Chains A and B, each alone.
Chain A
Amino acid sequence: MKRKFMWEKLLPTPQTMSFIGLMLICLAAFGLLKPAYATADNLYAIVLSACLSAVLALGMGVVISAGGFDLCIGHAAGFAALMCGYFLRSLGMDPYPAMLAALGTAVLIGAVNGFLVAWMGISSFIATLGMQFVLVGVRQWITAGNSYRSGNTIKQLAQGNALGVSNLILFSALMLAIVGFAMQKTAFGRKMQFTGSNIVASDYIGIPTKRYTFLSFLLSGAIAGIVGILQFGKLTSATINMGDGWLFNAMTIAVFSSVIFGRFKAHGIALVAILLTMITTGINMLGVSSAWTNFVLGAILLLSLFAGKYLRFNQIKVRKGRVSHGC
């Protein structure tokens, strides 16, 4: 039995394999219709545009695995970008302190969410939905409708290259690796996931469930802050509507990934983000109406929820599959 474990370990899980298969089908289908789709340049562009969505979904994934939802994660990221611009331009701060202050703002948003959910007992849906409206109001008030330019330092941070690979991709990969490691391999992550799976049973084994709920929101706030700042550099300017619509993407990716891969998996989030971007890019390149993109993404979200019921039901019976944390 021991020996069998050894070589089994080298193979990706059945979920990962079938997922890569799905990506290849997507590549072949769009490639046949539009040869420009299946070029290395285009695929690199797809990964580049998928990576920040993946990181934002990472934050959402952390909150979901701790048993909540963070509906303001997109606006928190946008708000961090705006605040970064505000600190730079209106307060005249240097780029690095400004970024740090913006990150602090995002963490504070997460802390307020976490406090409301963990200690005030407010449903995470309601608390974060409320926070989303607060942010939309406050950004109007602070920026007075101005947009801010990022300046070279921040732009360079997001748009630069190292070893021929975009910094954005490197940053994202690093974030996925760190958070994935913390959530899948450490006692911290295990306790966070227990809290999400069964909060009562977690209380009964002495896990400080309130603290872990709070921490999940704090973490998602921090991740949102980082994404916001990188977006700021990538777009080179922060406008008032920064962050609108980011939630949908993050949510779709996080939910899809947790349904397919069973629980929090960083590589799952990365794969789902890339697949979804492959689909939207493909639709765009075919020149079909953009209404189709929304239709397809919405349908994927609903289908994955539907499939989730079936898959989870099946997993109970799976004995030989890998059905645990961190494979």
Chain B
Amino acid sequence: MPYRGERVNEILQMRNIHKSFGATQALKGVDLDILRGQVNAIVGSNGAGKSTLMKTLAGIYRPDEGTILFDGQDITGFTPLKLQELGIQVVHQVLNIVGSMSVLENILLANPPVRCGLLKWKSGQDTVRRILKEIDFPLELSAPAGSLSVSQQQFVILARALIHQPKILVLDEPTARLGMEETQKLFALIRTLKQRGATIIYISHRMEEIYTICDRISVFRDGMHVLSKEAALLSEAELVQAMLGKRMETFFPKEEAPIGGEVLRIQDLRYRDRLNGVSLNVHAGEIVSLVGAVGAGKTEILECLFGLRQWDGGKMTLRGTELSRGHNARRAIDLGMALIPEDRASQGMIGDDTVRANLSSVDMAKACHAGVFSRAKEDQLAQKLVDRLDVRPNDIRYIMTGLSGGNQQKVVVGKWLTAEYPLYLMDEVTAGVDIEAKAEIYKIIGQIAQKGGAVLLATGDIEEAMGISDRIIVLYKGRIIYESSPAQTTKDDLLARIMGGGTHAQ
């Protein structure tokens, strides 16, 4: 090790970090100190900039402006490999596992043992065994990593990071895929690492974990670092307040709609370990929001309903018809469901096709004469929707990928407006959408409800849930833990509950 100067208390100092992607500013001048030998929590809602900051730290993104000091050394713009050599290891949210390679090879992947230019996996065996023993997680070294469960894979990735004896270990939502027992193992490991003087950066949505394991909490909001405090001195209520801040009120054009009869009833829905007995119902003209952290089970409920996942148990009834287990998307649509999926680009649209073709893609019969497309009918159908949704540019021949995110989303929603479906399932329908398009989409949701459609809206955006829904349901680890009307709850209370804390309000 070279001479390290005075041992400052801050192992990492980030100064005025800016990062933009196109027109969106992900980080707006972040100043953050990470304290040596502590477990530093970073919390914030989706899109607050946590992951962007960690990717900047890992060298994946280069900041537009600002400096990062590691032990007093300027490391801004270093490559990921260089940063790893310096002792900064980031365990990302995504499981980057090579399924066809063995556990041993996966763990040694970043720096495979080489002798005379040849790979010698075996020579790394002892180190890997030692590390696995340390984290108290025995794994068969020769097993292909693809055959492991996701929680085992998570530990493989953890072991990969530990091989390098990191000085700073960043864990991005490490417990999202872990069970109780495994979470305890992870915590024990974090404590051991801390004793040895390593610094941990811990990103999580779960209140109990943050308060159990972390020494210090830093809160992010809208690309800015708003608060850092010792965990013992920061109350849950204060934390939630800092995460929400005083944001601009978005305009929610909620139309009054009479609530009718029951459209959907779900009883005791179970899906793997992701949904543990969910029961809910939605009525005609009602907008119900499902809120919860990433991995709470929102998307799973919608995709089970739509026949995209095989559920394991429970009963679902749509307007008196029970959904069968061999259910698929086609039948779901025929029964009267519409789904706007979470990931617009990969699930929601045919990107290399026109706005027109996308708008007519669900209800092709409406653009056809006896199975043959009629240019006039299709143009008319598409033009009507483009005008109604105010898609810009107002040209149905435009290729989807050339539109802005907001306008793409209008088209993705628009293709379900050719008919009035009794039940609309929407998954993060305004994620990554500009404010104008958002207002347009809220207007459409309001109109759907007014005409007697039922809407089940999965969202991570609390303002949205408070603004447009008649009822809010909070999911936590695959269970419904709270239900309320927006009038009878507060944003603070909801957020606390989403994070598994909170009984303080009300």
Could you tell me the distance between the alpha carbons of A317 and B401 in the complex, rounded to whole angstroms? 10
A189 — nearest CB in chain B belongs to which residue?
Answer: B373
A207 contact set on B, CB distance < 8 A: 330
Instruction: Provide the A15-47 mask, 1 if CB < 8 A to any CB of B, else 0.
Output: 000000000000000000000000000000000
B373 touches A205 (CB 8 A): no
B333 contact set on A, CB distance < 8 A: 205-206
A114-170 with Cβ < 8 A to chain B? none
The verdict on A186 contacting B332 (CB below 8 Å), with A197-B351, A324-B356 known, is no
Minimum distance in angstroms from B80 CB to a CB of chain A: 28
Q: Choose the segment among B36-44, B246-254, B392-400, B478-486 that binds chain A (4+ C-beta atoms closer than 8 Å).
A: B392-400
Could you tell me the distance between the alpha carbons of A202 and B395 in the complex, rounded to whole angstroms? 23
Could you tell me the distance between the alpha carbons of A193 and B348 in the complex, rounded to whole angstroms? 16
B346 contact set on A, CB distance < 8 A: 198, 200-201
B interface residues with partner A (beta carbon < 8 Å) = 306, 308, 328-330, 332-333, 339, 341, 346-354, 356-357, 361-362, 364-365, 368, 371-373, 393, 395, 397-399, 401-402, 415
B395 touches A194 (CB 8 A): no
In this assembly, does A296 line the interface, its C-beta being within 8 Å of a C-beta of chain B? no
A325 touches B357 (CB 8 A): yes
A317 contact set on B, CB distance < 8 A: 402
Could you tell me the distance between the alpha carbons of A312 and B395 in the complex, rounded to whole angstroms? 19
A187 touches B373 (CB 8 A): yes
Q: Interface centre among B341, B352, B415, by most A CB within 10 Å?
A: B352
In this assembly, does A12 line the interface, its C-beta being within 8 Å of a C-beta of chain B? no
Instruction: Provide the A310-327 mask, 1 if CB < 8 A to any CB of B, else 0.
Output: 001001111100111110
Could you tell me the distance between the alpha carbons of A51 and B354 in the complex, rounded to whole angstroms? 31
Residue of B347, B353, B373, B395 near A186 (CB, 8 A) is: B373
A201 contact set on B, CB distance < 8 A: 346-350
Chain A interface size, under 10 / 10 to 19 / 20 to 34 / 35 or more: 20 to 34
B351 touches A322 (CB 8 A): no
A194 touches B329 (CB 8 A): no
Minimum distance in angstroms from A6 CB to a CB of chain B: 12
The verdict on A206 contacting B330 (CB below 8 Å), with A186-B373, A198-B350, A201-B348 known, is yes
In addition to A186-B371, A204-B308, A205-B415, 11 A-B residue pairs with Cβ atoms within 8 Å of each other are A187-B364, A187-B371, A187-B373, A200-B346, A205-B362, A206-B330, A207-B330, A316-B402, A323-B399, A324-B354, A325-B353
- 6 A-B pairs closest in CB distance: A206-B330, A206-B329, A187-B364, A316-B402, A324-B354, A206-B333
In this assembly, does A203 line the interface, its C-beta being within 8 Å of a C-beta of chain B? yes
Q: Interface centre among A188, A190, A200, A206, by most B CB within 10 Å?
A: A206
A193 — nearest CB in chain B belongs to which residue?
Answer: B353
Residue of B347, B353, B372 near A324 (CB, 8 A) is: B353
A/B interface sample: 28 pairs, CB < 8 A: A185-B372, A185-B373, A186-B373, A187-B372, A187-B373, A194-B350, A197-B352, A198-B346, A198-B350, A200-B347, A201-B347, A201-B349, A201-B350, A202-B350, A203-B308, A204-B308, A206-B328, A206-B329, A206-B330, A206-B362, A207-B330, A208-B330, A319-B393, A323-B354, A324-B353, A324-B354, A324-B397, A325-B354
A191 contact set on B, CB distance < 8 A: 364
Could you tell me the distance between the alpha carbons of A134 and B371 in the complex, rounded to whole angstroms? 38
Could you tell me the distance between the alpha carbons of A185 and B348 in the complex, rounded to whole angstroms? 23
B373 contact set on A, CB distance < 8 A: 185-187, 190, 325-326
The verdict on A205 contacting B399 (CB below 8 Å), with A188-B371, A197-B352, A324-B357 known, is no
B339 touches A204 (CB 8 A): yes
The verdict on A204 contacting B348 (CB below 8 Å), with A319-B395, A323-B399 known, is yes
Could you tell me the distance between the alpha carbons of A194 and B373 in the complex, rounded to whole angstroms? 15
A184 — nearest CB in chain B belongs to which residue?
Answer: B373
Minimum distance in angstroms from B425 CB to a CB of chain A: 11
Could you tell me the distance between the alpha carbons of A208 and B392 in the complex, rounded to whole angstroms? 31
Residue of A200, A205, A318, A322 near B361 (CB, 8 A) is: A205
Could you tell me the distance between the alpha carbons of A202 and B368 in the complex, rounded to whole angstroms? 19
A319 touches B398 (CB 8 A): yes
A319 contact set on B, CB distance < 8 A: 393, 395, 397-398
Q: Interface centre among A317, A319, A326, by most B CB within 10 Å?
A: A319
Could you tell me the distance between the alpha carbons of A152 and B102 in the complex, rounded to whole angstroms? 63
B399 touches A197 (CB 8 A): no
B396 — nearest CB in chain A belongs to which residue?
Answer: A324
A187 contact set on B, CB distance < 8 A: 364-365, 368, 371-373
Minimum distance in angstroms from B369 CB to a CB of chain A: 10
